[in-house]
């Protein structure tokens, strides 16, 4: 079992000095990865299913990880997740390649379709076609990342006669990790991603998701070049007990991305130390 740490760009970690301290501590403690969240805007007042109050500080994930990359050497840097249909795919492709380069090839590109309609409305992005838009954008990004003379003709994106250099350190491109807990998300992970990410899933919910992934794999063709689908899960906030960690492992989870309840620097550092003592250093 590998262990990651979630939330390196928001809350107390929206202060870069705190984020750097936490990132260094996690790397030194043996965590394999650091993960960001993303919401460009949040509904005000907070309404379900919005996950946090609108006043929660949240840095852009790519910028935050680029800063952290300069103060770490080994730990992987994951976007958990970027809401892809809200982004320009070619601009994002350039930003992610840049992050992969400045980090020395440590990016994990976690992507999702989003779920907050007010956020889409504020950004002027249609909420209804977010799934189809996400897949079209991903295909377009793969084209500009990998093709000698990039060209793409999709429903939402069309281009030809261009190039975008340099290319990423990781080949053919940074690993794609697809987030989400729906049959459509499971299918997308099987078809296009190196990994799947389930956020805030307890053991029982994770078991349900694993069954969904198995059903998707039986119905969808997975490119052999992708290899085995890596499974990452964030348990409910706090420090899971050893029994729960063992049950996640038994389900086939490869990485637990832990979410602290801590809201201050010293509490975050204590959480990292406690988690390392309980699980990571073993």
pLDDT tens per residue, range 97-155 = 999 999 999 999 999 999 999 999 999 999 999 999 999 999 999 999 999 999 999 99
List the structure tokens of 250: 């038994």
> Could you tell me how far CA 255 lies from the centroid of its own chain?
13
Residue 76 scores a pLDDT above 70: yes
Task: Round to whole Å and give the CA distance between 150 and 145.
Answer: 8
Angle 207-229-193 from CA coordinates, rounded to 5°:
115
What would the pLDDT profile of 77-111 be if each residue is shown by its tens digit? 999 999 999 999 999 999 999 999 999 999 999 99
Task: Round to whole Å and give the CA distance between 131 and 84.
Answer: 10
What would the pLDDT profile of 224-234 be if each residue is shown by its tens digit? 999 999 999 99
Residue 53, helix vs strand vs coil: coil
**Residue 92 vs residues 97, 137, 219: alpha-carbon distances, Å:** 9, 10, 31
For residues 95-123, one letter each, b for 16 or more C-beta atoms within 10 angstroms of the residue's C-beta and e for the rest, the string is bbbebbbbbeebbbbbbbbbebeebbeee
What would the pLDDT profile of 163-200 be if each residue is shown by its tens digit? 999 999 999 999 999 999 999 999 999 999 999 999 99
- For position 263, what pLDDT does the model report? 87
**Residue 282: pLDDT band by 50, 70, 90 thresholds?**
low
| Spatial contact of 269 and 14, defined as CB atoms under 8 Å apart | no
CATH code of the domain covering residue 255: 3.20.20.30
Query: Measured in Å, how far apart are the chain's first and last C-alpha atoms?
Result: 10
List the structure tokens of 28: 């030194």
DSSP lists the bridge partners of residue 33 as 4, 76
- For position 190, what pLDDT does the model report? 97
- For position 261, what pLDDT does the model report? 93
- Location of structure tokens 């320009």: 88
Host domain of residue 15 = 2-280
Number of domains in the chain: 1
């Amino acid at each position: 079992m590998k262990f990651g740490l979630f939330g390196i760009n928001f809350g107390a970690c929206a202060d870069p000095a705190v984020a750097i301290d936490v990132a260094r501590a996690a790397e030194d403690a043996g965590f394999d990865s650091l993960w960001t969240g993303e919401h460009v805007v949040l509904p005000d007042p907070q309404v379900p299913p919005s996950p946090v109050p609108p006043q929660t500080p949240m840095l852009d994930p790519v910028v935050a990880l680029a800063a952290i990359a300069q103060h770490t050497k080994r730990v992987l840097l994951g976007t958990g997740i970027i809401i892809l249909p809200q982004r320009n795919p070619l601009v994002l492709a350039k930003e992610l390649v840049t992050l992969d380069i400045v980090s020395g090839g440590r990016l994990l590109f976690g992507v999702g379709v989003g779920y907050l309609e007010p956020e889409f409305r504020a950004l002027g992005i249609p909420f209804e076609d977010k799934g189809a838009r996400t897949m079209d954008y991903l295909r377009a990004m793969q084209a500009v990342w990998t093709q000698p003379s990039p060209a793409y003709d999709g429903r939402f994106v069309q281009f030809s006669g261009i190039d975008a250099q340099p290319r990423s350190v990781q080949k053919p491109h940074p690993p794609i990790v697809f987030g989400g807990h729906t049959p459509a998300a499971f299918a997308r992970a099987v078809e296009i991603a190196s990994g799947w990410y389930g956020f805030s899933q307890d053991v029982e919910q994770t078991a349900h998701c694993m069954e969904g992934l198995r059903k998707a794999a039986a119905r969808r063709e997975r490119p052999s070049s992708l290899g085995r689908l890596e499974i990452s899960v964030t348990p409910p906030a706090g420090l899971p007990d050893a029994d729960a960690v063992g049950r996640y492992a038994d389900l086939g989870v490869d990485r637990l991305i832990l979410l602290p309840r801590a809201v201050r620097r010293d509490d975050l550092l204590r959480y990292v130390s406690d988690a390392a003592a309980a699980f990571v250093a073993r």
